[in-house]
Each structure stands twice: as C-alpha cells, then as structure tokens.
Amino acid sequence: MRLPQETIRAKRDGLSLDPKEIRAFVQGLSNGAVGEGQAAAFAMAVFFRGLSLPERVALTRAMAESGRVLTWSLPGPVLDKHSTGGIGDTVSLPLAAMVAACGGYVPMISGRGLGHTGGTLDKLGSIPGYDATPGLDAFRRVVGEVGCAIIGQTADLAPADRRLYAIRDVTGTVESLDLITASILSKKLAAGLDGLVMDVKQGSGAFMESLPAAQALAESIVTVAGGAGLRTAALITDMDAPLASAAGNAVEVAYAIDYLTGLRREPRFHAVTLALGAEMLVAGGLAPDRDDAAGRLEQALASGRAAERFARMIAALGGPGDLLEKPARSLPEAPVQRPVHQTGTVAAVATRALGLAVIELGGGRTRPEDAIDTRVGFTDLAGPGASGGLLGIVHAADEAAADRAETSLRAAYRMGAAPAERRAVIKRVSADQRPAHRAAAPGREPGAAAMS
C-alpha cells in the first residue's frame, strides 16, 4: 500500500488509484494519519487531474464507510434533498417539513457555508438553543417522531468527508466535480436513504456556471449514486440571481418562516421548492407523478401542516417553541439596517459577488475556524427586471461594514434594459430509472417508530 505522499504523487501525475489505495487514504483522513498539507495536496491533485468513474465510486464509498452507516425501520420512505449551493438558497428549511407533512421521513445532514455560498448548518446556528449536532440517538428519535431533522455532520457520520470538506473550502478546490460528488453522496449514503433529489445550481452564483458543467455534475451524481444503490434524481436550477430575496443566516431563517406561514412566497423560490419536493415524493412512492406530488405539497403548506412540522423540529432539537409565532423575539438582528436604492431597471446580477459580500460582512468564513456573525446579510434583494429602485437592505454590524456592503451591493447590479426574456428557473432533470421506493402507507402520520 502506498504512503499518503505516494498516493498524492500518483494522482498528481495522472495515474489511476485502485479502490484499496483510495480506502487507505480515506482511512488516514479519518484517523489523522494524513496531515492537513497532504489532504490539501490530494484535493488539489484531484481538482487538476480528475477521477475516473470507478475512482469516484471508490472515494464515495470509502468516505461513507469511514464512520457509521444508519439503517432505519420506519413506516415510510427515508428521503432527502441536497443543493450544490447558491445565494438565497434556503429551500432545505421549508422543504424538509413539507415532505414530512406528506408522509416522508427526512434525516437531512447539512453542511456549513462553502466558498461564496451559504450553508444550511450556519443558518440553523442563528436559532437560539437549536442543537445542530445532536447525538445519533437524538437525531433518530426526532426523525421518527417529527418526520424530519436537519443537523450537521456528527463525528460518527462520514468523518473523512467532514475533514476534507473544511479543507476544500479554503484551498480553492470547492468546484471539483469529483470531490463535490463524493462529498455529497458519502453523507447521503451514510444517512441510509431510500431516495435522494439533487438540486444542481447553474449560473453566476453557482459553482457550476455553465450548463454543460452543471449537466456533467448532475450526471456524475446520478451515476455514482446509482452505482451505490441509491435512487437519485437531479434537477438543474437557475442561479443567475439569488433564489430568495434574502442572503445571510438569520435573515434566511426568517424568510423560510415567512414562506411556511404564507406571509411571502416568491415565485422562483416556490417553483424550485415544489419541484424538488415533488421528485422526493415520487421517489418515495408517496405520489404517482409530479403533478399529484406538487398538489400534495401545496396542500401541506395551505393547511399549516408543513409549518407545524417545522415548529416541532425546531423545538425537538432545543430551539424556541414559539419561533414561528414570534421569530423577531428569537432571531438575532443586525444593529445597522440600511436600504440601498438605485434608479433604473436591473438588467443582470453578479450573484457570486453578493455571496462574497455576505462573507465580507462576517456572515461566512475565510478560514475553517472562523466564527460567523449570523445577524448580517441582505434582504429585499432585487431580481432581474426589477425597477422599483430598491436594490436591497444591508444588515451589518456597524456603519463602516454597511458602507462596504453598500458599495459591494451596488457593484453586483448592472442597470439597463430589462432582460429580453425570463430565465427558466428549472432547466433540466436527470433521473435514475430504478423503481421508486414503495411506501407502506402513503399519507400516514409520522410517529414514534422503531429504528434499528
């Protein structure tokens, strides 16, 4: 078996790695035998040289099996969704509750912000008392009783991925198709899912800016997941503008609450949320087709059942019991909130620049150990074609930070003629053709179910 440095050298030189060699390197990531510099060098070698399909499958399996792999004994399908990341992409928060309200079980393991994009785990960190890293027993209990739980990676689940994930964030290797595929799927395989739906973002605010690159990633994820026995569908969705009109941590939680309670349902955000949820319900055998599934999800929203699931999840994991009724009482607010106006019509948005501006405000990281300010970000962000004059509202820790953020916000917008045509928010779907999971009792209420 090669030493870690020899494995790095082999990949640097474009050689193929066999599964045993990959497994040994991943084991070193888990037990500390592979140093920080070696992990970074391996990520960079993969970034430049790439992995073959067998290598991707081997890396994914090895990272999934570097810790515990969950098994479930529940009266319904175990389903999940994952996004490759974007700006204003807070879909996971309402979607998990919506699918749970329709009979699915959603054990969602999420990550911190990566590169210029926000992370679901950081957003949850803005909720007082919410335990995003509970023990596995608590995680399983909440999934069984509520129907959903959104947490971060624990020390037990895919520990090799957790270490490599943090290194990718600060070494310029986030965009590697191979490492994205292995990172996403290793966590999902460890979670013991029956079905997965991927949201592959494409555009100026995505890691995959071109449609061919996004399609390559979607196909990679579906193919590798299928090879590992996990039914997966992938949607390619637009990220040439923020998905929601909020970007940050606490401000996105507030947005998700408004969405669940019906105070605000913006069309682009709603379309993506419904499309992803519909794929999940179909994959789990909870709906016969996408149209029926979308109707069930709409009903879960309209009836308040989805909001109720979200509230129960928050409380079950230590958060405030009245978060949905009184979000302003619990969510932190930035002391400076400054509207930014500009005349004219929005022709285009440099979406990545908005994500970087959130980081500059303190809402993201430049080093893995950095703390973040969950209060900061932007709200009421204008989209292409908007002509009301308001570009957005800056939420900052102080006036100096607000000045810098205002400059960045203005620079991210190009004013001019309205876009010639509205961009399609959902562009393409890749789906595994294996049979859907058959739910034992579609529409059943999650309860205290047995878990193995």
- How many Å apart are CA 185 and CA 205, to the nearest integer? 22
According to DSSP, the β-strands at 377-379 and 247-248 are: antiparallel
The tokens 């929601």 sit on which residue? Answer: 244
For the segment 27-50, what is each residue's pLDDT rounded down to a tens digit?
999 999 999 999 999 999 999 999
Q: What is the pLDDT of residue 197?
A: 96
User: Is 89 annotated as catalytic?
Assistant: no
For the segment 306-341, what is each residue's pLDDT rounded down to a tens digit?
999 999 999 999 999 999 999 999 999 999 999 999
**Residue 265 confidence class, pLDDT cut points 50, 70, 90:** very high
Q: What is the pLDDT of residue 431?
A: 67
Partners of 200 in the β-ladder: 236
**Residue 154 confidence class, pLDDT cut points 50, 70, 90:** confident
User: Is 326 annotated as catalytic?
Assistant: no
User: Is 82 annotated as catalytic?
Assistant: yes
The single residue of 60, 80, 330, 375 carrying the catalytic annotation is 80
Sequence ranges of the domains in the chain: 4-50, 79-326+425-431, 334-415
- 436 has a pLDDT exceeding 70: no
- 60 has a pLDDT exceeding 60: yes
The single residue of 23, 163, 168, 231 carrying the catalytic annotation is 168
Is the CA virtual torsion 164, 165, 169, 170 positive or negative? negative
The token pair that represents 190 in the structure block: 């460890």
- The fold for domain 79-326+425-431 equals Pyrimidine Nucleoside Phosphorylase; Chain A, domain 2 (3.40.1030)
State phi, psi for 90 to the nearest 5 degrees: -110, 30
The tokens 């379309």 sit on which residue? Answer: 271
- 111 has a pLDDT exceeding 80: no
Strands of 390-396's sheet in order across: 247-248, 377-379, 390-396, 336-341
Contact 151, 143 (CB under 8 A): no
How far apart, in Å, are the Cα atoms of 413 and each of 86, 249, 287, 347, 359? 17, 22, 41, 8, 18
- 409 has a pLDDT exceeding 50: yes
For the segment 170-222, what is each residue's pLDDT rounded down to a tens digit?
888 887 889 989 988 998 999 999 999 999 999 988 888 899 989 988 999 99
User: Is 123 annotated as catalytic?
Assistant: no
- The fold for domain 4-50 equals 1.20.970
For the segment 266-275, what is each residue's pLDDT rounded down to a tens digit?
999 999 999 9
For the segment 333-360, what is each residue's pLDDT rounded down to a tens digit?
999 999 999 999 999 999 999 999 999 9
Mean pLDDT of 356-368: 85
| pTM of the model as a whole | 0.86
User: In terms of residues, how long is the chain?
Assistant: 452
The single residue of 7, 30, 66, 83 carrying the catalytic annotation is 83
Q: What is the pLDDT of residue 441?
A: 37
- How many Å apart are CA 367 and CA 416, to the nearest integer? 37
User: Is 183 annotated as catalytic?
Assistant: yes
CATH classification for the domain delimited by 334-415, as one of 3.90.1170.30, 3.30.70.660, 3.30.465.10, 3.40.109.10: 3.90.1170.30
DSSP H/E element including 195: strand 195-202
User: Is 20 annotated as catalytic?
Assistant: no
